[in-house]
Chain A
Amino acid sequence: MKRLLISTALVMALGAPAFAQDYTPDPNAKSGGGIVVTYKDDVATLDPAIGYDWQNWSMIKSLFDGLMDYVPGTTELRPGLAESYEISEDGMTFTFHLRAGVKFHNGREMTADDVKYSLDRVTTPATQSPGAGFFGSIMGYDAMADGSAASLEGVTVVDPLTVQIKLSRPDATFLHVMALNFASVVAKESVAEAGDDFGHHPVGTGAFKLGEWTIGQRLVFEKNADYWRAGLPYLDTVTFEVGQEPIVALLRLQNGEVDVPGDGIPPAKFTEVMADPEQAARVVEGGQLQTGYITLNVTNPPLDNVDVRKAINMAINKDRITQIINGRAVPATQPLPPSMPGYTDGYAGYAYDIDGAKALLAGAGLADGFDTELFVMNTDPNPRIAQAIQQDLAAIGVRASIQSLAQANVIEAGGAGTAPMIWSGGMAWIADFPDPSNFYGPILGCDGAVEGGWNWSKYCNEDLDAEATAADSMTDPAKVGDRMAMWSDVYMEVMEDAPWVPVFNEQRYTMKSKRMGGADNLYVDPVSIPVNYDYVFVTE
């Protein structure tokens, strides 16, 4: 059902100027009140061009808007600051018509100049935006990236409420890119005023504005009374308390002091919470666009032999690994998570088959197995998962020693290509936007297989890269089905080459206090993690 919904959304979103069906707010929603959300880590920045942590991602969504947006609780695109848009026949020119009368938090009206300024700002090297590369298809991006231009050639202000964006290559994902936080519209004068400190003094058009920020302690978001979506948000304030251990956040939730523990239910308490019907009733479960996998470095003998990689795929007992994390995941068969368009239904993946794996190894001349290393991030439950993998490998004679390191060190080893195998837990790929292309380029494509890239398998298949590029050039809305079929094919080819062992797709569990209202899907929103703050409300 969800797949169908997403593809329909794509058809509708791409079929300009038709729009995806918008969200019907809860008729029982009440305005007023405030909630408390906790996080362990401090918030680094609220600058939409910079923020790329999983806790500031949804905060930024509530402070800022982009031209495009998603229907709450879904992966369906809907217009944001753009009221409507047109796409040229060749799919290379997008014309966005902005809503009139949208005001920034500083009271000024937002215009097309702000849109252009914001896109220039995020692509200027001086901004150091981790998301600059997403805008690679806009004409003039390369000149921005190498510093030879100060403004994106392809972005034109037609009139105060119209902005035209020309692409240098067809990009079927462009509307998703315009819905990314990195594409948020910021107020130029506020950026100038705050200088390098805009991340602590954010000014956008979002449902909330930043009230108070006491570094290391709390942030208070206040309702934007002038918000352009009528009647929203419902809450007067959202208070984020940072620096709190998840287990303490849970105790405070049980004591009625916290409404949403942002880091979720701590693994050690999961079984206990779910065993208590009263608490379990307040837990919302949902899928997320994430896959946990083991990378097999194809440049590192004997992993350069595809039979060896297949043997390892067959040796891993995914059900047991899923049990290690209390069943908070579903075993994976392929790189894409099931709720992603392009997922291949009916593909069973490599079955757990020790004898078959041994036979493959013997065929590769490795009947006695071999020695290798498995890199893993050193936070629970990842070392335990690595031990399970180690045991599974031992059963077919592969002796893996575990290198349990800090996240930054594992990423470094992966990028440098010195790690034969890496368990991705804690660093696993979570989609930036709901499109299959987002799971390919950086982690399976040739672009990512460079020194320092995130393609830790160093797998590079030029034919697949060509097919991926071809798929992303199919901007015709009528051909979405064909495009998804091509992506499905790409990932099936990947499975034939077996550079990964896809292990599981983690489920999300959000807990809320008794007084929180709003549909369940707002609490497992695939885009606003953990909660869509704009649409939830309190019932008392």
Chain B
Amino acid sequence: MANHLLRRIFQSALILLGVSFITFFLLFVLPADPVRQIAGRSATPQTVANIREQLGLDQPFVVQYGRYLIGLFQGDLGRSYLQKTDVSTLIAARLPASLLLMGAGIICELVIGLAMGLVAALWRGRVIDKTLMMTSFVTVSAPQFVVSLLLLYFFAVKLGWFPIGGYGTFSHLVLPALTLGILGSGWYARMMRSSMIEVMRADYVRTARAKGLSRARVVLRHAVPNAILPIIAMIGIDIGIFMGGIVVVEGVFGWPGIGQLAWQAIQRVDIPIIMGVTLVSACAIILGNLLADFITPFIDPRIRIR
């Protein structure tokens, strides 16, 4: 177990290193100059050259990347070019909001998605199945912007049940979390449906039914826990997405998450922030997967960590 953990941590570090290299390289070859963004439109060529030199952006790729890595190993994510603040401070300020929305979003996704998938699987081929699968198709393809705005418009503006965006209380959290839940539920519904259908065909389910257990008990006690197994891995990926990529939902609900920070940084080629956010979301994906790895054996005794 300890060995396995060490190996996984080592692998994760390698993955992070790879992510940092690829991202840094892509930003290096990108045909957009961060110095231009800092210097602005009125700068003289001399100002531009000064800034380039001060930030070390006149150095070759290897030197720039090497410097970044050295900082990284010392726990230094660098300073934002435009905000002139430590990237770690900027990310830390937005982390609580991102974590909260991530947690709430995943719970909503699971509740909505798993329920839809379960019902669809149990009534496979019926109208309800087709309706639910159609719905899941719509939700996975619905644009974030439209769903967010629709929910905001009806529940906040028209009905006044929730505040029109913002951050702070539970009622601020409901609509953005629900939006994420609806948008992501389709994937879970589809996976849950196929997983359930497969499990329901399994021998142990037939055995359970043969020994006279009620349908409800068979489904809830034997089928569902097994059907959920492959889905746990998906949560790990969602964690990563939610830590860096829910720009639109954050924007509509005025949620001060990391996505907004990343989006603005990308617009202005603020490389240290882009790197920082990428690494944080990569860490989140890795942690999420690690967590999934360690939880699975507790749910499914067949899987043992060697």
Contact A42 B46 (CB under 8 A): no
Alpha-carbon gap, A147 to B47, bound state (A): 11
Knowing A216-B260, A251-B152 touch, does A132 contact B94 (C-beta < 8 A)?
A: no
> How many angstroms from the CA of A323 to the CA of B79 in the assembled complex?
44
Interchain CA distance A243-B264 in the complex, whole Å = 10
Interface status of B293 (Cβ within 8 A of chain A): no
B85 CB–A CB distance under 8 Å? yes
Instruction: Mark the stretch among B4-12, B29-37, B120-128 that contacts chain A.
Output: B29-37
Question: What are 6 A-B contacts with C-beta separation under 8 Å?
Answer: A45-B82, A130-B42, A130-B47, A146-B46, A199-B85, A412-B36
0/1 interface trace, chain B 68-88, chain A, CB 8 Å (1 if under) = 000000000001101111000
A188-205 to B contact mask, C-beta < 8 Å, 1/0:
000000001101100000
User: Contact string, A215-254, partner B, CB cutoff 8 A, digits 1/0?
Assistant: 1110000000000000000000000010111011001101
User: Which of chain A's residues have a CB closer than 8 A to the CB of B109?
Assistant: none
Q: Is A154's beta carbon under 8 Å from chain B? A: no
**Of B18-26, B189-197, B248-256, which binds chain A?**
B248-256
A6 to B101, CA, bound (A): 52
Asked if B264 and A42 sit within 8 Å, CB to CB, the answer is yes
CB < 8 Å: which of B42, B45, B54, B266 contacts A128?
B54
Given contacts A244-B254, A415-B36, 8 further A-B contacts (CB under 8 A): A125-B50, A200-B85, A216-B97, A245-B251, A251-B164, A412-B31, A415-B33, A429-B41
The distance in angstroms between the C-alpha atoms of A147 and B90, with both chains bound, is 31
Cβ of B161 < 8 Å from any Cβ of A? no
Residues of chain A within 8 A (CB-CB) of B84 are 45, 47, 50, 196-197, 199
- At the interface, yes or no: B138 with Cβ under 8 Å from chain A? no
Among residues 402 to 422 in chain A, which have CB atoms less than 8 Å away from a CB atom of chain B?
A: 406-409, 411-413, 415
- Contact bitstring B253-284, A, C-beta under 8 A = 1, else 0: 11111001100101111000000000000000
Contact status of A407 and B31, CB under 8 A, knowing A248-B164, A251-B153: no
| Max chain A Cβ within 10 angstroms of own Cβ: one of B51, B164, B252 | B164
Quick check: B164 and A134 within 8 Å, CB to CB?
no
B268 touches A408 (CB 8 A): yes
A contact residues around B93 at 8 Å (CB): 214-216
A contact residues around B30 at 8 Å (CB): 409
- In the complex, are the beta carbons of A216 and B261 less than 8 A apart? yes
Tell me if A16 is interfacial: C-beta within 8 Å of chain B: no
Are the CB atoms of A128 and B38 closer together than 8 Å?
Answer: yes
Within 8 A of B (CB), among A381-430: 406-409, 411-413, 415, 429
B260 touches A257 (CB 8 A): no
Assuming the contacts A133-B43, A248-B164, asked whether A408 and B267 have C-beta atoms less than 8 A apart, the reply is: yes
- Interface residue? B167 (CB, 8 A): yes
Q: Is the CB of B46 within 8 A of A432?
A: no
In the assembled complex, the CB of A67 is this many whole angstroms from the nearest CB of chain B, namely: 20
How many angstroms between the C-alpha atoms of A257 and B82 in the bound complex? 30
Which B residues touch A411, using CB under 8 A?
32-33, 36-37
Contact with A along B152-179 (1 / 0, CB 8 A): 1100110000001111000000000000
Judge whether A215 and B94 touch: CB under 8 Å: yes
Closest to A43 in B: B83
Q: Which residues of B contact A131 (CB under 8 A)?
A: 40, 42
Q: Is the CB of B133 closer than 8 A to any CB of chain A? A: no
When C-beta atoms are compared, the residue in chain B nearest to A427 turns out to be B41
Task: Give the shortest distance, in Å, between A268 (CB) and chain B (any CB).
Answer: 11
Could you tell me if A257 and B164 are in contact, using CB atoms closer than 8 angstroms? yes
Tell me whether A148 is interfacial, beta carbon within 8 Å: no
**Judging by beta carbons under 8 Å apart, are B45 and A450 in contact?**
yes
Distance to closest chain B CB from A322 (angstroms) = 25
Contact B250 A452 (CB under 8 A): no
- What is the CB-to-nearest-CB distance from A493 to chain B, in angstroms, rounded to a whole number? 23
Contact of B44 among A45, A132, A243, A407 (CB under 8 A): A132
Smallest CB–CB gap between B226 and chain A, Å?
Answer: 42
Distance in angstroms between the alpha carbons of A66 and B266 in the assembled complex: 33
Q: How far is the CA of A400 from the CA of B166 in the complex (A)?
A: 44
Cβ of A408 and Cβ of B48 under 8 Å apart?
Answer: no
Interface size class of B (residues with CB under 8 A): 35 or more
Given contacts A217-B167, A244-B254, contact A44 B83 (CB under 8 A): yes
Measured CB to CB, the nearest residue on chain B to A253 is B164
* Interfacial chain A residues near B269, Cβ < 8 Å: 408
Nearest to A47 among chain B residues (CB) is B84
How many angstroms from the CA of A44 to the CA of B81 in the assembled complex?
A: 10
Residues of A within 8 A of B85 (CB): 197, 199-200
- For B157, the chain A residues whose CB sits under 8 A away are 251, 254-255
Chain B residues with Cβ under 8 A from A41's Cβ?
Answer: 264
Assess the B42–A248 pair: CB atoms within 8 A.
no
At the interface, yes or no: A350 with Cβ under 8 Å from chain B? no
Instruction: Output the least CB separation between B66 and chain A (Å).
Output: 23
* Pairwise interchain contact A196-B79, C-beta atoms closer than 8 A: yes
Whether B16 is near chain A, meaning CB under 8 Å from some CB there, is no
Counting CB contacts under 8 A, is B292 at the interface? no
Set of chain A residues within 8 Å of B79, measured between Cβ atoms: 196
Which chain B residues border A130 with CB–CB below 8 Å? 38-43, 47
Knowing A45-B84, A255-B164, A406-B32 touch, does A215 contact B254 (C-beta < 8 A)? Answer: no
**CA gap between A40 and B45 in the complex, in Å:** 31
B149 at the interface (CB under 8 A from A): yes
Which residue of B32, B45, B264, B266 is within 8 Å of A412 (Cβ)? B32
**Which of B80, B166, B266 lies at the interface centre, i.e. has the most chain A CB atoms within 10 A of its CB?**
B166
Q: Are A133 and B42 in contact (CB under 8 A)?
A: yes
Point out the residues of chain A lying under 8 angstroms from B257, CB to CB: 216
Interface residues of B in 203-250 (CB under 8 A from A): 250
Contact between chains at A128 and B50 (CB < 8 Å): yes
Q: Chain B residues with Cβ under 8 A from A287's Cβ?
A: none
| Cα-based distance from A197 to B80 in the complex (angstroms) | 11
- A216–chain B nearest beta-carbon distance, Å: 4
Q: Report the bound CA distance from A492 to B250 in whole Å.
A: 48
Q: Are A452 and B37 in contact (CB under 8 A)?
A: no
Neighbouring B residues of A64 by C-beta, 8 Å: none
- With A248-B165, A454-B41: A412-B255 Cβ-Cβ less than 8 Å: no
Q: Is the CB of B37 within 8 A of A408?
A: yes
Asked if A509 is at the interface of the complex by the 8 Å CB criterion, the answer is no
B260 touches A134 (CB 8 A): no
Using CB atoms, name the residue of chain B closest to A247: B149
Report how far A432 CA is from B43 CA in the complex, Å: 13
Q: Which residue of B lies closest to A244 (CB)?
A: B254
Contacts of A15 in B (CB 8 A): none
For residue A142, give the distance in angstroms from its CB to the closest CB of chain B. Answer: 9
Are B251 and A42 touching (Cβ within 8 A)?
no
Q: Which residue of A lies closest to B36 (CB)?
A: A411
Nearest chain A CB to B238 CB, angstrom units: 22
